[in-house]
Amino acid sequence: MKSRWMPAWLRVWIAFGGVLVNCIVHIVPLMLIALLKVVLRWPGARAFFDRWLMAIAASWIDFNSTLFERLTDTRLHVTGLPDPMPEGHFLVVCNHQSWVDIPVLQKLLNRRLPLLRFFLKSQLIWVPLLGMAWWALDFPFMKRYSREQIQRRPELAGRDIEATRRACKKFRKIPVSVVNFVEGTRFTSKKHKSQASPFEYLLKPRAGGTAFVVDAMGDSLDTLVDVTLVYPHGCGELVDLFANRIPEIRVDFQIMPIPEELRRGDYQNDPDFRRRFQEWLNTLWHDKDERIRRMHESAVQEK
């Protein structure tokens, strides 16, 4: 039973305490197994330890999802949820509006697809507890360089691309779901206006990161999971979720193959391939923009 009587401040503190305890309980065995994986390198050891790491991560997400269910009255309206596919290699693309996006994706896809792995800024490795856990679970840490930094130090050009390739190559041998927030940042009206985005509900997609993931994963990556998130009454942040201020979240899944001709190509140096890849991603984004419009209309009609 959900605690409908519970005031917002109490929900938030229970959620904070539950998440903290959950982190500690799961990170300790996670780190022990990760260290064993580093030290013990006999044949088959990596696969053995990876199975344990994935089991711990799935349990960790299960508990956080239980907090989501018990401490909020948020309605999840889901369409197209994929059948369980625990093996395989998936590219998950999603529009990005809030940090709430991540627990929603984890709740819906945990134990359904292989563990979701997100590209993280390199500074996040220093986040207490979580940084170590992300390292243990092989989350890719990326160091992004601005145009100004590259102008001052030209040798930095391409390093982020090579880091993407190195991170993705290790995923070829294990089941994985690589998550890419294609817009590169969370949606805001200010960003939408400054970009002069051609989409009503989305920022412009950044094709480069997606192309490098597809290239680095090679033939092992063939399935696209296109996720569309809509917050009909406003999205808010995690504290708003657990304060019970997000009444509804709508999620749509589209499963499709990655076109064969886009799985092999040189995005950096081949202008024709780059154009075709961008056209494909822009078409996906136009479809997503229209899907979001329909999802908002459905939310209004169902009131």
Average pLDDT rounded to a whole number, residues 89-104: 95
Pairwise pLDDT comparison (300 vs 253), residue with the higher score: 253
pLDDT at 2: 55
Are the C-beta atoms of residues 225 and 113 closer than 8 Å to each other?
Answer: yes
First to last CA, the chain: 24
Identify which of 245, 217, 212 has the alpha carbon closest to the alpha carbon of residue 231. Answer: 245
Average pLDDT rounded to a whole number, residues 13-33: 94
Q: How confident is the model at residue 111 (pLDDT cuts 50, 70, 90)?
A: very high
Q: What is the overall mean pLDDT for the chain?
A: 88
Identify which of 93, 46, 37, 64 has the alpha carbon closest to the alpha carbon of residue 280. Answer: 93
Identify which of 248, 204, 253 has the alpha carbon closest to the alpha carbon of residue 228. Answer: 253
Q: In this structure, what token pair is assigned to residue 164? A: 């993407």
- Determine the topology of domain 73-301 in CATH: Glycerol-3-phosphate (1)-acyltransferase (3.40.1130)
Q: Which residues are CB-contacts of 82 (< 8 A; sequence separation ≥ 6)?
A: 109, 112, 113, 225, 253, 255
Between 6-15, 192-201, 289-298, the lowest mean confidence (pLDDT) is in: 6-15
- The CA-atom distances, in angstroms, between 263 and each of 15, 31, 41, 162, 269 are 42, 35, 32, 17, 15
Residue with tokens 């989501």: 68
Average pLDDT rounded to a whole number, residues 114-122: 87
pLDDT-above-90 percentage for the chain: 59
- The CA-atom distances, in angstroms, between 13 and each of 10, 17, 222 are 5, 6, 42
Are the C-beta atoms of residues 158 and 143 closer than 8 Å to each other?
Answer: no
Q: Summarize pLDDT for 177-206 with one digit per residue, the tens.
A: 999 999 988 999 999 999 999 999 999 999
Q: Summarize pLDDT for 44-59 with one digit per residue, the tens.
A: 888 889 899 999 999 9
Q: Summarize pLDDT for 168-178 with one digit per residue, the tens.
A: 777 887 889 99
d(CA 286, CA 275): 16
Tell me the whole-structure pTM to 2 decimals: 0.90
pLDDT at 144: 64
User: Where does 80-188 show beta strands of DSSP type E?
Assistant: 89-94, 116-118, 120-121, 141-142, 176-181
Crossing angle (nearest 10°) for helices 159-169 and 207-217? 40
Identify which of 195, 197, 226 has the alpha carbon closest to the alpha carbon of residue 210. Answer: 226
Residue 165 has pLDDT above 80, yes or no: no
Are the C-beta atoms of residues 291 and 228 closer than 8 Å to each other?
Answer: yes
- The CA-atom distances, in angstroms, between 58 and each of 35, 137, 201 are 19, 11, 32
Report strand pairing: 89-94 vs 176-181.
parallel
Q: How confident is the model at residue 1 (pLDDT cuts 50, 70, 90)?
A: very low
Q: Summarize pLDDT for 241-255 with one digit per residue, the tens.
A: 999 999 999 999 999
